[in-house]
Amino acid sequence: MNLDSQRWRGCAWLRALVFQWHKSRGFAASNFQRPYSRDWEELLQAGNLISAELRAEAFREAKELEAAGLVDLKTVRYRPYQIERIVIPFAAEPRLREMFAGELPEAPDPRFDFTSVQWASPLAFLTSESVTVAPDDLLKLNEFFLKEPRIQTVVPIKERSLALFGDEKRLDALVSTSLFRAGRLDWVRDLKCEIIGEPLAWKRGPAEAASGSVIVIENAATWHSYCRWNAEHKLFSAVVYGCGNRFVDGFRFMPDIFRELGGLRRILYFGDLDPRGLEIPQEAAVLAQGLALPPVEPHLWSYRQLLKLGIGQGQPYEGDAASPELCDWLGDCAEPVRQLFAAGQRLAQEHVGWEFLQSKTGAD
């Protein structure tokens, strides 16, 4: 497929992707084992593509570029209309270099002598080991270590990145390079920074349910329906949007929700019936122990309704097989879910939707 290079050079999200890729690894891409990828939402924000119309156009552009072999799209499981990550295949790298010829920075001097630098202790391995990182980035890191050898305060990774490079996203790109391979740099130990997950969106329940449990809902549509249901029937002190995989990264914000609510509550969870849908709350349950929070429990009423409503409605599941123990978390729902998985099926939680919920006055 022939593409209009001039048109694509002006595509905001594609420019952001290509320039981030080139800055991160473009000079030595063949040394990497995995293709470069970025979060789709971050690219949309980098391109200031905020409105629904602009996002829809970006989706159409991404599909066109995928058809041309210039990118691969990783969509949310069972939601092909929702892009999660966008990948530059190795085979597409030369074509993108050609498309953006004259705009990408020049390659660093290949004659750079790593042994000529007096590296700070965390970077001492550079005297005998090579990394696929621009020397300018390494020198900035070295300057940081020489000036701030005893820094103790841990800050968000983007704040540390801005201080180091004048670019809040630079460290995010570097952590996937060989610089942070095991036994080399560690962003917590050496750079005193941490990756911060997205805060959890949540809606407080009615005053009459102030002492009730907190329920976490995996997907946005079902979260909206449960919020409407809770407003009418006063069942939960809060309805939290888990946002799929991001619930695990954002679980550290649960104590903030409890402070707003005035104390700890039971944490109930309801998500899709597929292996990843069960792994997410169980991973969060491990974090709950470390934070001295209540365990993450299944909202069994919701799962029972999903199993009833989903009879004959299962969707094919083509992922890795689940271990039988994964379903144990579901208590008396475990066995029918094992049978569902054994049949190569899954159930989307959206079966328990608003039309069903509005007729239910309780969740016992």
Digit-coded pLDDT (tens) for 139-172: 999 998 888 666 678 899 899 999 898 888 888 8
Name the token pair of 284.
Answer: 């969060």
DSSP 34: S
CATH match of 201-357 with 3.40.1360.10: yes
| CB-count burial class (<10 Å; 0-12, 13-18, 19+) for 98 | exposed
- 40-54, 198-212, 227-241, 346-360, range with the lowest pLDDT: 40-54
What gap in Å lies between CA 27 and CA 241, rounded to an integer?
40
Confidence of residue 25 (pLDDT cuts 50, 70, 90): low
**Tokens found for residue 239:** 């309805």
- The answer to whether the CB of 269 falls within 8 A of the CB of 216 is yes
Instruction: State how far the Cα of 55 lies from the Cα of 315, in Å rounded to an integer.
Output: 28
For 84, residues 6+ apart whose C-beta sits below 8 A from its C-beta are 39, 40, 74, 75, 76
* Mean of pLDDT over the chain: 87
SS3 74: strand
- Mean pLDDT to the nearest integer, 208-237: 95
Q: What is the pLDDT of residue 106?
A: 58
Amino acid, res. 6 = Q
Cα 216 to Cα 200: distance, rounded to the nearest angstrom: 10
Q: For tokens 């952001």, name the residue.
A: 16
* Short-list 36, 5, 167, CA closest to 102: 5
Domain 1-102, second-level architecture: Orthogonal Bundle (1.10)
The pLDDT tens digits of the residues spanning 293-342 come to 999 999 999 999 999 999 888 888 877 778 889 999 999 999 999 999 99
Which has more confidence, 28 or 49? 49
Write out the residue limits of the CATH 1.10.10 domain(s) in the chain.
Answer: 1-102
Give the per-residue pLDDT at 249: 86
8 A C-beta contact, residue 270 and residue 236: no
The reported pLDDT for the residue numbered 108 is 52
Say if CB 268 and CB 300 are below 8 A apart.
no
All CATH 3.40.1360.10 domain ranges in the chain, comma separated: 201-357
Indicate whether this model's pTM tops 0.75: no
